[in-house]
Amino acid sequence: MQNSETGTVRVLWRLVPYAKKALPRIFLGVFAAIAAHLFALAIPQLLQGLVNSLVEGGLEALLPAVGFILLLGLLEAFFVLLRRWLVLTPGTHVEASMRNALYEKLQDLPVAFHDRWPSGQLLSRAVSDLSLIRRWLSFGFVLFTANLITIIVGLVILFTFNFWLGLIFFVATIPIWVAGFLFEGKYNVVARLSQDQSGDLATRVEEAVHGVRVLKSFGRGAFAASQFSSQATELRSTEMKKAKAVANIWLYLIMIPELAIGLSMLAGIWLVAEGEMSVGTLVAFFATAMVLRWPTESLGFLLSFTLEARTATERFFEVIDSENKIVDPVAPQVVSEPKGLLEFNNVRFQFPDVQSADGELLRGVNLRVEPGQSVALIGLTGCGKTTLTALSTRLYDVTGGSITIDGVDTRDLRREELRTLIAMAFEDATLFSSSVRENILLGNPTATEEDLKQAIEIAQAQFAYDLPNGLDTTIGEEGLSLSGGQRQRIALARAVAAKPKILVLDDPLSALDVDTEAMVEDALRHVLKDTTALIVAHRPSTVMLADKVALLQDGTITAFGTHQELLKSSEHYRYVITSLDIEQKEREVNL
């Protein structure tokens, strides 16, 4: 228990760097809250004298005492207001700075991280966890600290009224502290579970919205809904466990102070009857105990709030602490006058989550793409072509060997420089919800109008001019309003507009008809004479247009040469080409 107690403080302590600017206001908020409570605690002190003088029959002290009590009440109200005003805004700054840090980290983390983490988990961290931390900082932390201090001060005051009475009261409240410690251990577990489950639920919603067409077309809407509902039910039952744990501690927090008051009242009346204590002191004692009731009762809620903030903080730092192994070199090199020589030297690669000993996907790939040359990469499906292209821009890092550009290891280049040297286009073209122009100029926002025009021409994306607002037409999320082939052409224009020295194209023409593809290929070959190109190809026609062809088989390049050469020399090549041919014919029939 002790461990998890220090653990909570240590975890929350990590918020300090983000909360630095907000801390002065937050701590002033704590002081204002304590001041309000202290004024409330001062009232019984006056009551003591007032009652005693009333009992003794004197009325002259009445008016000034009442006036003073009124003043104390007003001061209390003022400090409550002051606390609220102080803590209203600082939390929002903390939330914003944490959210920025999280977003930056997510952008920086490698693809391997995103392969592993469901998007909903990241979304729930960025949204609900951070807003919980904000609320806790400006409300939970302030009240929890202030209330704890008030309770301690209040207990000391009770002891000064009468030591024995104070002791009885204190002993009677010990079960609260025990219950609090026990509660912390239990609640931590369910709070974590609930936050993780809501992340999973967010993932499910995201997937369902994203894949709504697939679900609808397969008539699986009801199935998806039932999956969602069973996950939601799970979350509900975790929430119920949380609520039960809180209800339990509330029981202690409400019942035990009543019991303590009852016991000390018996003892107090006895002490007054014995003449050991004045009536005024007895009244003041109970008035003080009553002031302590709300801070004590609120502890249950504030403790659970604090534990939820701890969990949220842990979940935030799980992302922030994720190690990024794909980082910029300490002493970066520069390719000053890039020629565009791309070499794969004995490249080996195994996905991090593939554990088996023979799980290597690439087992010594050697490939040299000369400056200005275009090389088609072909191989059976699943042989690792996409992976090989992803290695060239360090979306993943090689696990053996090296990839060099003009002889410089890609790991010795700053990532930003590397990614200006190489531009990629993928089969699965992701577009962002902004204008066509912004999508094309993503990799080169300062490109001239001329560059933009040329990129559109090469990619055969002239259709964009005919969209309702031309190049300024906003295309929907992921470019849903465009056809697959249109999306691919915008993505290709994006790669071309980046004006890279090396273009890596992972089958970016698969959705185009053969004629359009031939036009794109032709433009690529003629306009981009100086651009090195590595093109993953799924069509014999694409293959034939390339200067050379590389055949990827069993994790290595087993044949390299012109299409004609390979047709003669490699049986596997003939096999792959025939299967691509069949695929192409099937597609053409379907067109």
Ligand X SMILES: Nc1ncnc2c1ncn2[C@@H]1O[C@H](COP(=O)(O)OP(=O)(O)OP(=O)(O)O)[C@@H](O)[C@H]1O
Q: Return the residues of window 309-348 that contact Mg ion according to CB under 5 A.
A: none
Q: Provide the minimum distance between the beta carbon of 305 and ligand X in the complex, in angstroms, as a whole number.
A: 38
CA 101 vs. chain centroid, Å, equals 10
Please return the burial class of 23, using the count of CB atoms within 10 Å of its CB with bins 0-12, 13-18 and 19+.
middle
Q: Provide the minimum distance between the beta carbon of 459 and Mg ion in the complex, in angstroms, as a whole number.
A: 20
Task: Candidates 57, 382, 445, 468: give the one binding ligand X (CB under 6 A).
Answer: 382
The yes or no reply on residue 558 touching Mg ion (CB under 5 A) is no
Do 469 and 476 touch, CB atoms closer than 8 A?
A: no
The interface partner of residue 354, options being ligand X, Mg ion, none and the CB cut-off 5 to 8 Å by kind, is ligand X
CA 343/CA 345 separation, integer angstroms: 6
Task: Candidates 96, 269, 290, 354: give the one binding ligand X (CB under 6 A).
Answer: 354
CA angle 538, 539, 541 (to 5 degrees): 150
Q: Which helix H or strand E contains 375, and what residues bound it?
A: strand 374-378
Q: Return the residues of window 98-117 that contact ligand X according to CB under 6 A.
A: 115
The interface partner of residue 361, options being Mg ion, ligand X, none and the CB cut-off 5 to 8 Å by kind, is ligand X
Q: Provide the minimum distance between the beta carbon of 379 and Mg ion in the complex, in angstroms, as a whole number.
A: 9
The yes or no reply on residue 356 touching ligand X (CB under 6 A) is no
Q: Which helix H or strand E contains 49, and what residues bound it?
A: helix 23-55
Q: Which stretch binds ligand X (CB under 6 A): 127-135, 157-165, 228-236, 380-388?
A: 380-388
Q: Give the contacts of 544 (CB within 8 A, at least 6 positions apart).
A: 563
Q: Provide the minimum distance between the beta carbon of 219 and ligand X in the complex, in angstroms, as a whole number.
A: 27
Q: Mark out the alpha helices in 346-480 (DSSP H runs).
A: 385-392, 415-421, 436-440, 449-458
The yes or no reply on residue 358 touching ligand X (CB under 6 A) is no
Q: Provide the minimum distance between the beta carbon of 376 and ligand X in the complex, in angstroms, as a whole number.
A: 13
Q: Which stretch binds Mg ion (CB under 5 A): 126-134, 185-193, 381-389, 460-468?
A: 381-389
CA 245/CA 524 separation, integer angstroms: 66
Task: Candidates 333, 373, 386, 516: give the one binding ligand X (CB under 6 A).
Answer: 386
The interface partner of residue 384, options being Mg ion, ligand X, none and the CB cut-off 5 to 8 Å by kind, is ligand X
Please return the burial class of 363, using the count of CB atoms within 10 Å of its CB with bins 0-12, 13-18 and 19+.
middle
Q: Provide the minimum distance between the beta carbon of 93 and ligand X in the complex, in angstroms, as a whole number.
A: 37
The interface partner of residue 562, options being ligand X, Mg ion, none and the CB cut-off 5 to 8 Å by kind, is none
- Residue 373's closest CA among 405, 342, 407? 342
End-to-end alpha carbon distance in the chain: 68
Q: Give the contacts of 227 (CB within 8 A, at least 6 positions apart).
A: 204
* Six-digit token string for 400: 């053996």
115 vs 477, beta carbon nearer ligand X: 115
**H, E, C per residue of 170-196:** HHHHHHHHHHHHHHHHHHHHHHHHHHH
* Six-digit token string for 78: 């003022």
Q: Provide the minimum distance between the beta carbon of 382 and Mg ion in the complex, in angstroms, as a whole number.
A: 8
Do 141 and 148 touch, CB atoms closer than 8 A?
A: no
CA 150/CA 31 separation, integer angstroms: 11
234 vs 397, beta carbon nearer ligand X: 397
- Residue 582's closest CA among 545, 540, 550? 540
Do 484 and 427 touch, CB atoms closer than 8 A?
A: no
299 vs 543, beta carbon nearer ligand X: 543
The interface partner of residue 110, options being Mg ion, ligand X, none and the CB cut-off 5 to 8 Å by kind, is none
> x-or-dash pattern for ligand X, window 312-351, by CB under 6 A?
---------------------------------------x
The yes or no reply on residue 386 touching Mg ion (CB under 5 A) is yes
Task: Candidates 40, 215, 249, 383: give the one binding ligand X (CB under 6 A).
Answer: 383
DSSP-derived pairing of the beta strands 400-405 and 502-506: unpaired
* Six-digit token string for 135: 């609320």
312 vs 361, beta carbon nearer Mg ion: 361
Do 313 and 366 touch, CB atoms closer than 8 A?
A: no
The yes or no reply on residue 384 touching ligand X (CB under 6 A) is yes
Nearest residue by C-beta to Mg ion?
386
Q: Provide the minimum distance between the beta carbon of 504 and Mg ion in the complex, in angstroms, as a whole number.
A: 12
Q: Provide the minimum distance between the beta carbon of 98 and Mg ion in the complex, in angstroms, as a whole number.
A: 37
Q: Return the residues of window 395-424 that contact ligand X according to CB under 6 A.
A: none
Count of chain residues binding ligand X (CB under 6 A)? 13
Q: Provide the minimum distance between the beta carbon of 498 and Mg ion in the complex, in angstroms, as a whole number.
A: 21
The interface partner of residue 556, options being ligand X, Mg ion, none and the CB cut-off 5 to 8 Å by kind, is none
**H, E, C per residue of 447-485:** CCHHHHHHHHHHCCCHHHHHCCCHHHCECCHHHCCCCHH
Q: Provide the minimum distance between the beta carbon of 113 and ligand X in the complex, in angstroms, as a whole number.
A: 11
CA 289/CA 73 separation, integer angstroms: 17
Question: What pairs with residue 345 in β-bridges?
Answer: 402
230 vs 381, beta carbon nearer ligand X: 381
Task: Candidates 4, 387, 516, 584: give the one binding ligand X (CB under 6 A).
Answer: 387
Nearest residue by C-beta to ligand X?
386
Phi-psi region of 382 (alpha: psi -120 to 50; beta: other; left: phi over 0): left
- Residue 500's closest CA among 442, 579, 564, 563? 442
Q: Provide the minimum distance between the beta carbon of 381 and ligand X in the complex, in angstroms, as a whole number.
A: 4
The interface partner of residue 490, options being ligand X, Mg ion, none and the CB cut-off 5 to 8 Å by kind, is none
Q: Which stretch binds Mg ion (CB under 5 A): 385-393, 404-412, 446-454, 545-553?
A: 385-393
Task: Candidates 107, 230, 356, 381: give the one binding ligand X (CB under 6 A).
Answer: 381
Strand order across the 548-553 sheet: 422-425, 502-506, 532-536, 374-378, 548-553, 556-561
Q: Which stretch binds ligand X (CB under 6 A): 44-52, 130-138, 384-392, 434-442?
A: 384-392
* Contact positions vs Mg ion (CB under 5 A): 386
Contact residues for ligand X, defined by CB under 6 A: 115, 351, 353-354, 361, 379, 381-387
